[in-house]
Amino acid sequence: MDHCWFKIPLLPPSVNHYVEHPAAGVHRKSAAAKAWERDFPLFAGSLYCVSPSGRFHVTLEFTPGPGSKGDVDNYNKLPLDCCAKRGMFRNAKNEPVSDAWVKWLEVKIHDLPGEREHGPQTKITIEAM
């Protein structure tokens, strides 16, 4: 499969809420990040993308719900990590590769009043390059 896409009816926690710091020098994933990782496979299913070059183009589309805020650079980490952990990026030998092979990343936030009515949601599209 040279491309795939799916939607998740949630926004990922921002990078500011990905890790908790309960004590000096202690870092651990937040409950919100763990919940996102837990639920991710329910929506991704068994989808994956094979790239003969091993390079990928990923489009992340975020639709915040009414009243939500979002920063274009704060939502990207967890969806990419989850895609990689799930084996959604695969090389020509059909072997899973890391998100380091994502060479083109597009991020869109749909935040017009009419669009926000459809949120919160995340759409992820993976294409072979």
Per-residue tokens: 99? 């998100």
Angle between helices 77-85 and 31-44 (to 10 degrees): 50
Question: 19-20 and 28-29 as β-strands: parallel, antiparallel, unpaired?
Answer: antiparallel
Q: Of 57, 40, 48, nearest to 90 (Cα)?
A: 48
Express each pLDDT in 108-122 by its tens digit.
999 887 888 888 999
Q: Which residue has the tokens 């092979």?
A: 101
Q: What CATH number has the domain bearing residue 123?
A: 3.30.1330.70
- Beta bridge pairs of residue 59: 106, 125
pTM of the model: 0.89
In a domain, 90, yes or no: yes
Give the range of the structural domain holding residue 65, as residue numbers without chain letter.
3-16+29-128
Q: What is the pLDDT of residue 21?
A: 63
End-to-end CA distance of the chain: 12
Residue-wise pLDDT for 32-73, tens only, equals 889 999 999 999 999 999 999 999 999 999 999 887 776 777
- Predicted local confidence at residue 105, as pLDDT: 97
Q: Name the DSSP letter for residue 96.
A: B
Residue 21: inside a domain: no
Asked whether residue 23 is domain-assigned, the answer is no
Identity of the residue numbered 37: E
Establish if 73 belongs to a structural domain. yes
Structurally, the chain folds into a number of domains equal to: 1
